[in-house]
Amino acid sequence: MGRLFLVTLEGKVYSCKHCQAHLALCDDIVSKSFHCRHGKAYLFNKVVNITMGQKEERLMMTGMHTVSDIFCVRCGSIVGWKYEAAYEKNQKYKEGKFILERYMVSGPDGGQYLTNLESQVSGSDADDT
């Protein structure tokens, strides 16, 4: 196995809550109005230090999308997903963008988002614009 090279970001950074690998900059947030199975999620233009899983079709609150789960390159934790394709015209803006689940990342201040019990029990991969 080769040597692991990580991108180090400058500024206010979101990082993996397990290993602190940098994932995205605050400046790359498109929206903080998304939701996932654990609560809040943020839409980003760009993320780094990830690997992508298989493309799959998912039915979300806003319709059918083709997505790929994204994993931290350092520790392998799932941190969100990438929108590969959106089938509804008003959802096309998501294509090529990334969701980071707030529950899976540490914020720029080093704080971690804590999920509540209700979202763990009744949630599913859902987005909300």
pLDDT digits (tens, 9 = 90+) for 59-73: 998 999 999 999 999
Is pLDDT at 15 greater than 90 in this prediction? yes
* Average pLDDT of span 93-108: 95
> Which residues on neighbouring strands pair with residue 67, listed in sequence order?
56, 83
Q: Which CATH number fits domain 14-114: 1.10.3720.10, 1.10.3210.10, 2.40.50.100, 2.170.150.20?
A: 2.170.150.20
The two tokens of residue 6 are 């990580």
With bands split at pLDDT 50, 70 and 90, how would you rate the model's confidence at 34?
very high
The fraction of the chain above a pLDDT of 70, given in percent, is 83
Collapse the DSSP code of 38 into the 3-class scheme (helix H, G, I; strand E, B; otherwise coil) and give the result: coil
Phi-psi sector, 124: left (phi>0), alpha (psi -120 to 50), beta: beta
Burial status of residue 48 (CB atoms within 10 A of its CB: 0-12, 13-18, 19 or more): middle
With bands split at pLDDT 50, 70 and 90, how would you rate the model's confidence at 32?
very high
pTM for the structure as a whole? 0.83
